[in-house]
């Protein structure tokens, strides 16, 4: 039996979505964020030393990192539909889109979030200085990087329904979190990236995605 160690409002929601798409038996072990730090609880370290979510256990196997988990599930339970084999012409495109979301797209979004917290968490006396530094980082690096990456993804989706080939794949599951989180937070605007917005609405309308929302509980980045 597969167990998903699930943290609310986190990347583990996309793993839950894939489990529903695959129709495999699974169970959910739920964890709550620390109310002060908003970080994952120490209890997750008992499952994996990094103490992060998502983590799955499948028998004696413990897997962390979204891309590894998603590809593992796709290849072991996907009947060849969710991940192409290495000799498939689409394999390297698939590999790119599996690694790109966390390797390139997510870092500037995370920096934007961190420096946003710097603005509000700094002591009152130094808050204007902290806000100025955060603003400069956004103007000179974070915002241009976000525009570059979202423009790239939007262009890729301009004439296609899914990222790779003619059907949905594990790569679409992997990229879902940064795209929907950025749209929900207003970090990327729907009017600026209409193809990304249409794509997010398209996968959020899938029955398996909706079932995953019901199973997972609160999720800030899902459809309104």
pLDDT tens-digit readout, 98-128: 999 999 999 999 999 888 777 777 677 767 7
The residue ranges of every structural domain in the chain are: 2-77, 91-206
Rounded Cα gap, residues 182 and 109, in angstroms:
7
Angle at 149 between CA 135 and CA 7, to 5 degrees: 80
CB 18 within 8 A of CB 70: yes
- For residue 106, what pLDDT is reported? 97
pTM across the whole model:
0.93
CATH, domain range 91-206? 1.20.1050.10
Q: What percent of the chain has pLDDT over 70?
A: 98
In this structure, are residues 12 and 52 in contact, taking their beta carbons and an 8 Å threshold?
no
Q: What is the pLDDT of residue 56?
A: 98
84-93: per-residue pLDDT in tens?
Answer: 999 999 999 9
Gyration radius (Cα) of the chain, Å: 18
Say how far apart CA 65 and CA 55 lie, in whole Å.
7
55 pLDDT band, cuts 50/70/90, is very high
- 181-223, pLDDT tens digit by residue? 999 999 999 999 999 999 999 999 999 999 999 999 889 999 9
Tell me what pLDDT residue 65 has. 96
Q: pLDDT digit string (tens) for 151-184? A: 999 999 999 999 999 999 999 999 999 999 999 9
> Domain 2-77 belongs to what topology?
Glutaredoxin (3.40.30)
pLDDT recorded at residue 39:
81
Contact status, residue 109 vs residue 184, Cβ threshold 8 Å? no
């Amino acid at each position: 039996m597969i167990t998903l160690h699930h943290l609310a409002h986190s990347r583990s929601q996309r793993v839950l979505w894939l489990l529903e798409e695959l129709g495999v038996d699974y169970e959910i072990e739920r964890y709550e964020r620390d109310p002060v730090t908003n970080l994952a609880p120490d209890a997750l370290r008992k499952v994996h030393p990094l103490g992060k979510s998502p983590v799955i256990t499948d028998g004696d196997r413990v897997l962390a990192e979204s891309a590894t988990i998603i590809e593992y599930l796709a290849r072991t339970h996907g009947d060849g539909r969710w991940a192409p084999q290495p000799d498939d012409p689409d394999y390297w495109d698939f590999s790119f889109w599996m690694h790109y979301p966390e390797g390139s797209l997510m870092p500037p979004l995370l920096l934007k979030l961190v420096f946003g917290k710097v603005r509000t968490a700094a002591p009152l006396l130094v808050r204007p200085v902290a806000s100025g530094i955060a603003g400069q980082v956004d103007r000179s690096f974070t915002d241009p990087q976000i525009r570059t990456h979202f423009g790239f993804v939007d262009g890729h989706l301009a004439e296609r329904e899914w990222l790779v080939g003619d059907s949905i794949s594990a790569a679409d599951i992997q990229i879902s979190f940064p795209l929907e989180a950025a749209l929900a937070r207003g970090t990327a605007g729907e009017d600026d990236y209409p193809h990304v917005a249409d794509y997010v609405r398209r996968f959020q309308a899938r029955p398996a995605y909706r079932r995953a929302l019901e199973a997972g509980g609160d999720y800030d980045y899902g459809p309104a």
